[in-house]
Chains A and B, each alone.
Chain A
Amino acid sequence: MAMAALRREGRRLAPLISPRTITAVRSSPLYPTLEDEGPLGVRHISTQVVRNRMKSVKNIQKITKAMKMVAASKLRAIQTKTENSRGLWQPFTALLGDLPSMSMNKPLICADVKKNVVVTISSDKGLCGGINSTSVKISKGLHKLNSGPEKETKYVILGEKAKAQLVRDSKKDIELIITELQKNPLNYTQVSVLADEILKNVEYDALRIVFNKFQSVVSFVPTVSTVLSTEIVEREAESGGKLVDLDSYEVEGGETKGEILQNLAEFQFSCTMFNAVLENACSEQGARMSAMDSSSRNAGDMLDRLTLTYNRTRQASITTELIEIISGASALEG
């Protein structure tokens, strides 16, 4: 209401000031200036720029909120599957042990694994926080740990994100790249086919699967699961290493013990892969949830700051108008 009264005053005084003689700054579409012309040539400081920014930031906030909810629903769907699949590899670990130390240079134990294969599991889509980078960092660390005169490490990569990072500097060490894993909902058949491919094409003494284990919606632990090949297992069992208990088991069926152990190793690999892929998918959704959440919060903060700037600009323009009117009026009197 006060604005309306001031506008009336402005209109009465405006012809006396004759602003038309002042060249107005032409605002071209390419360079929006801070001034624009109102009715009767009264100039206001423009709030257009700030308003545009506010609109786009608000849209971003809406989008990230929606993405967070989508990730939350996907997480719920896949979480039960993951927890159930954990029971799959536990018996194997109870029997054979998960022995990442199989390659460390321990002078007392003669177990030296010559051919390591690192299976890095990552996501295809981005915007999921830092989980893919941690997986790649660990894979590279394993590679370095196992490099030596006779030893070699090869990569098998699942997922676009790890591929992008590893192709840059380790291109010659990559054996297989598999992407678009999550196009269809994850199930065992798919993973077993994958495991089959890997076992057929890659020579290995030890397979190390690098993935992010899902502990809770906010915590993902990078994990390495080790699957040893049958030769190493037998060697360990005989030489009295950590797997000495294995010999105490009688093996039933099949012609030789080796045959059964071979089947066992392959089965173990596919079970561990299945669990690893599910856990990584869960971690991906959880990480995306928290990333989108912090993004919407940031957008909210930005919006608050922009609103303050907007109000300040608006008030400044009103004040300027007032000053012009009043100084004009006082100039006439005085």
Chain B
Amino acid sequence: MLVASTVALTSSSSAEVQHVSFSPTSSNQESKNSASRNRTTLVDMVIVPATTGQMGVLPGHVATIAELKRGVLSVHEGSETTKYFVSSSFVFIHANSFADIIAIEAVPLDWIDVNLVQKGLEDFTQKLSSATTELEKAEAQIGIDVHSALNSALTG
């Protein structure tokens, strides 16, 4: 699922509107929601997993371009939090309190099956130990990274 989401941040004082527009281009067909969720939602804060660590984005944030590594993206809306697991992506924060998040895959956390994650982790660990070429080692390493991130996202 490819996602580009535009998040605009509200601040109660300046009353600018936050829009979250997710536009997943779903290639995985088990999406229960039908693909396009181009809705505009008011959100208060978004926490993104930047390469330098978790970054909280609030209204009035300075304009930034940041690369994100895979991890959990959480969208805080009033008292509710929705969490998504995103693959590596980019976030552009514009000066007018709009933020664009462009990710290749974004999955709500409750769609992920814990058992499959565990199994995948074991598989890839095994593949790494039995890997011979550099390419296989790299692929196995990537698999391990993704699965352990998924694991920590689900448990943490």
- Point out the residue from A88, A248, A253 that lies within 8 Å of B25, measured CB to CB: A88
Q: Which interface residue of B35, B55, B64, B65 has the most chain A CB atoms within 10 A?
A: B65
Residues of chain A within 8 A of B93, CB atoms compared: 249
Residues of chain B within 8 A of A41, CB atoms compared: none
Cβ–Cβ contact A91 & B66, under 8 A: no
Taking Cβ atoms with an 8 Å cutoff, the residues of B that contact A are 2, 4, 6, 21, 23-27, 35-36, 38, 50-52, 55, 62-67, 90, 92-95, 100, 102, 104
Among residues of B, the one whose C-beta sits closest to the C-beta of A260 is B67
Asked if A274 is at the interface (CB within 8 A of a chain B CB), the reply is yes
Interface residues of A in 241-264 (CB under 8 A from B): 248-254, 260-261, 263-264
Cβ–Cβ contact B92 & A84, under 8 A: no
Cβ–Cβ contact B64 & A250, under 8 A: yes
Closest chain A CB from B74 CB (angstroms): 18
Closest chain B CB from A85 CB (angstroms): 4
Q: Which interface residue of A84, A250, A254, A271 has the most chain B CB atoms within 10 A?
A: A84
Asked if A179 is at the interface (CB within 8 A of a chain B CB), the reply is no
Report Cα–Cα, A188/B24, bound state, in Å. 12
Residues of chain A within 8 A of B95, CB atoms compared: 248
Closest chain B CB from A239 CB (angstroms): 19
Report Cα–Cα, A80/B52, bound state, in Å. 36
Closest chain B CB from A83 CB (angstroms): 7
Cβ–Cβ contact B100 & A267, under 8 A: no
Among residues of B, the one whose C-beta sits closest to the C-beta of A257 is B65
Closest chain B CB from A178 CB (angstroms): 20
20 contacts between A and B (CB under 8 A): A85-B2, A87-B6, A87-B23, A87-B38, A88-B4, A90-B6, A95-B94, A188-B104, A249-B63, A249-B93, A250-B63, A252-B51, A252-B65, A253-B51, A254-B51, A264-B67, A267-B90, A267-B102, A271-B2, A271-B102
Cβ–Cβ contact A91 & B102, under 8 A: yes
Among residues of A, the one whose C-beta sits closest to the C-beta of B27 is A187
Residues of chain B within 8 A of A2, CB atoms compared: none
Report Cα–Cα, A14/B67, bound state, in Å. 98
Cβ–Cβ contact A94 & B94, under 8 A: yes
7 tightest CB-CB pairs across the interface, nearest first? A87-B23, A91-B100, A253-B51, A252-B66, A84-B25, A187-B27, A87-B4
Cβ–Cβ contact B23 & A253, under 8 A: no
Cβ–Cβ contact B4 & A90, under 8 A: yes
Residues of chain A within 8 A of B4, CB atoms compared: 87-91, 271
Cβ–Cβ contact A274 & B2, under 8 A: yes
Report Cα–Cα, A261/B67, bound state, in Å. 10
Asked if A43 is at the interface (CB within 8 A of a chain B CB), the reply is no
